[in-house]
Amino acid sequence: MAEQLVELNVTGMHCNNCAMSIHKLLEKKGLQNVLVSFASEEVKFSTADQSLLPGIITDIENLGFHVVDDIATHKTPFYDKVENKFTFCALFTAPLLLHMLFPWHFLHNPVVQLILCLPVFLVGCFHFGKSAYSSVKGGVPNMDVLIFIGSTSAFIYSLVGTVQNLGVHYLFYETCATIITLVLLGNVLEKRSVNQTTSAVKDLMKFQQVNASRVTKDGIEIINAKDVIAGDTLQVNEGDQVPVDGEVLSGEASINEAMITGESIPVQKKKYDTIIGGTIVLEGNIKIMATKVGSNSTLSQIIDLMKRAQAAKPPVQKLGDKVAAIFVPVVLVIALLTFIITYFATNVGMQGSVMHAIAVLVISCPCAMGLATPTAVMVGLGRAAKNGILIKGGDTIEAVANTKFVIFDKTGTLTTGKFSIKDIEVAEGQNMESVRGAIVAIEERSNHPIAKSLVNGLSGLAKQKVILRSVAEEKGLGMRAEDVEGNNYFLGTAKLSDNDNFNLALYKNQVLIAQIAIEDTIKPDAANLIVQLKKMGIKPILLSGDKASRCASVAKTLGIIDVHSEKLPDEKLSVVDIYRKKGKTIMIGDGINDAPALTQADVGVSMNDASHIAIQSAKVILLNTDLQSVVKFLQISRHTLLTIKQNLFWAFAYNIIAIPVAALGFLNPMVGALAMAFSDVIVIGNSLRLKVKKVS
């Protein structure tokens, strides 16, 4: 049975610890492609057995979270919002701290301190205690275990001192309250910061929340874009946002497609042109027929791909995950040893020993390690998307690190794909009109750039169009067709021709009836791209099914040394494999014949105007046809990986330094709680720099 993607809306996740608890639970159950985002309150995973779903939902709710049907309509209770919990706790914690600054004797009263601390402690018990108990019960102890034990230890120690009237040296109510309040502050800051890292997806989702003007027999009906069905006729006026993907039925318009392609120059659209939902009509009015709606729309697929990309962990994250998985038990052991050694080997007594142990518990924070990779990946993916680069997986970012080779297909990648017919040579006894008619009839069934150019160039000249019964495209070879009279045609690469001036040959019943010479132009930014790749230490390779002479000409113009020409799809696969054995290899292509090679490469990159199969095979899609997107993609990926490594370094260094300092008694538990909260913010802040930092 094929695996299906399951999406759940889960409320009650306040920080990355919550997300990690659910993530570990689902992985322990053997589920694949697990994605848990506390910022968007989403949980995704793949399973082949849908009957497991009710049990999985129950297990998630047993951890202290809630699975809801629709996150948009769900309202979080006032008392359950982490911001409100922090505000409530801060109001009671402030007076507890003031007694250390001002000589207000009533604040030194143990009973007053108990009364002030108790509400904060209860909030902490429900917030951290519930999560801690559920995580231990589920066999995946999280950071809340440390917070709960630390704050509870301080509270009970103080309560005993109050009941037995042991004096001010046994009162640490402010430590208990401050730990809880500062960690809640960290949760608030963490959630707000991570919300910024997911802004790219949220910005795209806003484009879906529009109305549409549906044309009916009674006039115009205003409906929500999500209610549009394929085949509906929609009126889109100047200034409107196109609600769904469609095809222009009438009118002309200038469209801003920047949100999809990153290209700021408006695109003119006329009858029969395709139009993408979410783009803006700058000038003109058009009627369109809805073609792709709901989850099938281009915008929905981009949003879904970006969300799934966050689930693909780069290998660099595995170390962080392994450490975080054993972190809590190790910290508990260190805290216990700290208490025992301090109590029996020093003269600080019970009070000092407890404080040292509590400091170890609250300073230890695997949150930063857990946040190090996903925050950087989310920001990197978002920046790439805003530059017209759609990256399908977070693991792709690391896969392009240390790239040695970039292999280019020629037609439609390094060249414009817009061809002009230079010459048609008809065999003796053949009629030019019938040849033109056969070429147009066959090629109008293909999406290949050469086919489109042939149809555009000959459609006005083809007076005797052949009526075809069937047409089939063969990868890397050409088109086969049969007309209604039973004649068989083949139109494809002129590989058997002795004349290099001709690119294509047309056969009728296995007899050569015409040869076609076509010209392609090199993209204006191709030469600059090759120069930049060489500066980055990357070797460009040309791999094409076209003739050797034409490939050599393009390669010479662009400065490419290694050329592989006249290659069929399976031969392209072999070439890619050869380079992969030498180093990290990227393949950039656009045709059906490139699909296997795109899959075989470490990273396949497809142009947006490529065939559907090529786009599905690639890991990266360049929505903007500007080749500079290739360099931008490499630069963003490199800086994202650099940011991940920086984050992991600071996260590890923080804990390596902080835990011994706390164990030796040089760190107050309250300072530890504050430092722990801001360690997350430092990591997130470093990730957010990716939004604006120069990546050249």
Total length of the chain: 696
In this structure, the strands spanning 539-543 and 233-236 are unpaired
**Looking at 245, 409, 626, 680, which residue is catalytic?**
409
Can you read off the two tokens belonging to residue 677?
Answer: 């909260």
Cα–Cα distance between 237 and 292 in angstroms, integer? 20
Cα–Cα distance between 65 and 86 in angstroms, integer? 19
Cα–Cα distance between 202 and 195 in angstroms, integer? 9
Cα–Cα distance between 8 and 372 in angstroms, integer? 24
Cα–Cα distance between 249 and 646 in angstroms, integer? 52
Cα–Cα distance between 526 and 512 in angstroms, integer? 36
Q: How many Å from the N-terminal Cα to the C-terminal Cα in the chain?
A: 46
Find out whether 309 and 391 touch, Cβ atoms under 8 Å: yes
Q: Where are the beta strands (DSSP E) in 377-457?
A: 389-391, 403-408, 420-426
Cα–Cα distance between 201 and 203 in angstroms, integer? 5
Find out whether 406 and 323 touch, Cβ atoms under 8 Å: no
Q: What is the dihedral of CA 303, 304, 305, 309, to 10 degrees?
A: 100
Which residue has 């890397």 as its token pair? 476
- Is 409 catalytic? The answer is yes
DSSP state of 429: T
The identity of residue 245, as a single letter, is D
Find out whether 518 and 501 touch, Cβ atoms under 8 Å: no
Rg (CA), the chain: 32
Find out whether 99 and 177 touch, Cβ atoms under 8 Å: no
Q: Which residue, among 603, 607, 567, has the nearest Cα to 590 in the 3D structure? A: 607
Find out whether 393 and 653 touch, Cβ atoms under 8 Å: no
Find out whether 552 and 565 touch, Cβ atoms under 8 Å: yes
Can you read off the two tokens belonging to residue 650?
Answer: 């600071």
DSSP string, 91-125: HHHHHHHHTTTS--GGGG-HHHHHHHHHHHHHHHI
The long-range contacts involving 224-227, CB below 8 angstroms and separated by at least 24 positions, are 225/277, 226/294
The identity of residue 192, as a single letter, is R
Q: What is the dihedral of CA 575, 577, 583, 587, to 10 degrees?
A: 70
C-alpha distances (whole Å) from 141 to each of 109, 130, 131, 185 are 37, 12, 9, 22
- What is the SS3 assignment for 345-386? HCCCHHHHHHHHHHHHHHHCCCHHHHHHHHHHHHHHHHHHHH
**Positions marked catalytic:** 409
